[in-house]
Amino acid sequence: MKHIEGYLRVSLFLSEMGKLSSVFSLRHFLVLSLALNVALISRVVYEGENWREEQIRALMADASEKSAHVSISSPSPPSPSPSTSSSMAVTSTEIKDDGERVINLDHGDPTMYERFWQQMGDITTIVISGWQSMSYFSDVKNLCWFLEPEFAKQIIRLHKIVGNAVTDNYYIVVGTGSTQLFQAALYALSPPNASEPMSVVSAAPFYSSYPSVTDFLKSGLYKWAGDANNFNKDGPYIELVTSPNNPDGSIRQPVVNRSGENLVHDFAYYWPQYTPISSPADHDLMLFTVSKATGHAGMRLGWALVKDKEVAKKMTSFIELNTIGVSKDSQQRAAKILQVISDSYEPVGNPKQSGSFFHFSHSMMEERWKALRSAAKQSGLFSLPEFPSSFCNFLGQAFGSQPAFAWLKCEGGIEDCGNFLKKHKILARNGKHFGASPEYVRVSMLDRDESFNLFTKRLSSLHLSQSKDHEEESP
Ligand SMILES: Cc1ncc(COP(=O)(O)O)c(C=O)c1O
C-alpha cells in the first residue's frame, strides 16, 4: 500500500508540475520523472529486501522456538565464501536440556559436515543442463564403462594427495554407494559353480549391515558365516576387513589367515579426520565412499580399487545388471567436491589448507571426542575405547583415532545399554546388532552440532542412581 500511495503522490506532483510546462521544457520533465522513478524503485527494492530479511528472521525465530528445549548461543551464520579454519571451529554452545527431546544417534548420517560445505558457498556448485548426462555411457573404452572420467581423475588425485591408497595399476569401479560395491564384490569373489555358498565373515564387532546385506537375497553364491574369530571351516571364504572399524574404530588386519582367503578391505573411514594416515593401502580389493569421506551420503557414491582385472570385470557386470551403471549427475557433483578439496591442498603448502576440509573435519572430530570423553567421565556410568597415538603423514602430526562412531559401554551393572539410554531419550544402536554384548551401544559422532552437544550434555547428567532406578524398573 505504501508504495501505491507513494506512486500516487508522485503522479500528482507531476501533474501539478505540468502546469508549469510553460516554464520547463518536456526534456526537463522527463529527467525529473526519471529521477523520481529511480528513487521510488530503489525504495521498493530496499523495503523488499528488508521484508525478506524480516521474513528470514521470523522463520529463524520460529524454528528456534520449535526446537523447543534447546537454546544455543549465537550460532554463526554461514558465510558465502571460503573461510579459515578458526572461523569454522566448533562453536561453543550453552545448552539447556529438560531431558524431553529425543536425540537420535542411531544412524551414521554425516550431517556434521553440512556446516563446512555451507560455508564454502558456491565454490562447489555445478550446473547440469537438461540436455547433459543423457547417455547411459560415460567412457566406453574403460572396463567400468559407466565411470565418469573426471570422477576417476579426482579419485586418483585425492588418494595421491592424502596418501591413503595406492591407485597405480588398480581398476576403479564406481558404485551406488559402497553398499552396492560390497554386493558386487561378494558376487565377483564367489565361484559360480561351487557346491555350496561361499562363507562371508568379519571379526566382531562388525558393521551391522554386513549380515543383512549378505543374506538379503538368499544367494546361492555366498552366505553370512558370522564372527571371523570363530570361523574354522575349510575351503574358500571372504573376510571383510573394516579399518578403522565400524562400530569400535579399531585398526584391523585379517584374522582368519587361511588358504582360500578372499579379502575385502572396507576403507570407508580411512581418512585423516578419523585416523592417522600411516601408509597408502594397497590390498586386492578396497572400498571407499563419499558418504564418510566428504559427508555426501545423499550422492550415493562409492568406488572400489581392484587389482585383478577379472574381479573388476565381474563387479562391473554386477552393477550393469543391477542398476545399468551409476548416476552421472552424482559422479559429476562428486568430482567437483573432490576437486575443491584437492585444490586447497595443492600446491603443497597452499596457505588455504589450514581452512581445508580435512583440517576442519579433523579438528571438529577432535573437539567432539574431547567433549564425549569429558561427559562420560562426569557421568561415571560409561567407558570408551582408548586409541594409541600414531603419526599421520598427511596432517604431519601424531594423534589417536577419533572414530565416526563411539563404541560406548555402560558400566555400573547396566546390562542393556541401548535400553538404558532409550529411557533417557537417547537412541543408539544396540551392541547385539554388531555381534557383540548389549552392554555396548554404537553412537554416531557425525550428527549436527545441536544434537551432538545435547547428547554430551545429557550423557554427563546420567549418574549411578539413575542406573539403579532403571534396573529396578526392568527385571
Ligand atoms: C564400514 C562401512 N561400509 C560401508 C558403508 C556404506 O557406505 P555407502 O553410504 O557408500 O553405501 C558404511 C556406512 O555407514 C560403513 O560404515
Q: Which domains does the chain have, with CATH numbers?
A: 2-14+23-65 (no CATH), 122-345 (3.40.640.10), 357-473 (3.90.1150.10)
- Rg of the chain in Å (alpha carbons): 29
Q: What is the SS3 assignment for 232?
A: coil
Nearest one of 368, 289, 295 to 114, comparing CA atoms: 295
How many other CB atoms sit within 10 Å of the CB of residue 351?
8
Q: What is the SS3 assignment for 80?
A: coil
- Smallest CA separation from ligand 1 atom 2, residue: 268
- Model pLDDT for residues 214-262, shown as the tens digit of each residue: 999 999 999 999 999 999 999 999 999 999 999 999 999 999 999 999 9
Residues of the chain with pLDDT under 70: 1-94, 466-475
Q: What is the SS3 assignment for 137?
A: coil
The pLDDT of residue 467 is 63
Task: Give, for ligand 1, the residue of 246, 251, 330, 429 to mutate: max count of ligand atoms closer than 8 Å to Cβ.
Answer: 246
Cα separation, 249 vs 350, whole angstroms: 31
Q: Which residues contact 338 (CB under 8 A, 6 or more apart)?
A: 151, 154, 155, 157, 158, 290, 294
Task: Give, for ligand 1, the residue of 105, 207, 208 to mutate: max count of ligand atoms closer than 8 Å to Cβ.
Answer: 207
Q: What is the DSSP letter of 471?
A: H
Segment holding 180, helix H or strand E: helix 177-189
Cα separation, 405 vs 390, whole angstroms: 19
Beta-strand runs (E) in 270-384: 285-289, 301-306, 382-383
List, chain by chain if needed, residues with CB within 6 Å of any ligand 1 atom: 108, 177-179, 207, 242, 246, 266, 268, 289, 291, 297, 302
DSSP β-ladder status, 198-202 and 237-242: parallel
- Smallest CA separation from ligand 1 atom 13, residue: 108
- Residue-wise over 115-135: b if at least 16 C-beta within 10 A, else e? bbbebbeeebeeeeeeeeeee
Q: Which residues contact 352 (CB under 8 A, 6 or more apart)?
A: 82, 344
